[in-house]
Chains A and B, each alone.
Chain A
């Protein structure tokens, strides 16, 4: 059972900005940095953002991340058709200890 809560879906037309929220608690997001993964079904998940706002090499700067308190968000600027995927936030949880994923958000490009 996921302890990080995300909206189940988000959508936008090409070129729009989409934001995905991730809500946690003091033992995970409130204490440790947040990561984001992009998952296209049938393929391996891909690291999209680490340490709240750091993009791995090769990830377009259209993607940005932020964290505030016990919540985090991922923004996609200039939405493109290839951004259609499932997005998961994740963080280490000190209370269990455990690595916890968000519930996942399916992004649809209309």
Chain B
């Protein structure tokens, strides 16, 4: 049973960079997409982006200019950097594993394992 655990600062100052790491245990990081999702208080889930084990990335268009993701397969970890943060970036951040496949019925993509989430507050 794969497990994911987010880690990183819980408080980030405005205009600085939010950095989080997700450690994967109980399974290989290979052959999956790995994503970050966030949820501001009182709001819904928002996909931030994904990284494959080769380092290939896709980012949400709304956050693309500020997001960078990386992966370290030797440590079974992947990371998120979100630059120039504001109070609007305050949220619970989740990391998740994505199963994917291109089939006759469309692009199959879903999250079958999630981390517990970590609250990041942007405040001075």
On A, residues with C-beta under 8 Å from B are: 1-2, 31-33, 35, 37, 39, 43-47, 50-51, 56, 88, 90, 92, 94, 96-104
Contacts and interface: CB of A to CB of B under 8 A. Distances in A.
Contact of B115 (A44, A56, A90): A44
A93 B111 CA distance: 15
Contacts, number: 69
Contacts of B99: 50
A33 B44 contact: no
A56 B111 CA distance: 11
Interface in B7-23: none
Contact of B114 (A2, A44, A90): A44
B44 A99 contact: no
A99 B58 CA distance: 10
Contact of A88 (B35, B44, B115): B44
Give the contact-size bracket for chain B. Answer: 20 to 34
A46 B94 CA distance: 12
B115 to A, nearest CB: 6
Given A44-B94, A44-B117, A104-B45, A99 B109 contact: yes
B11 to A, nearest CB: 20
A39 B94 CA distance: 12
Given A99-B47, A104-B44, A47 B111 contact: yes
B26 interface: no
The interface centre, meaning the residue of B50, B108, B112, B116 with most chain A CB atoms within 10 A of its CB, is B108
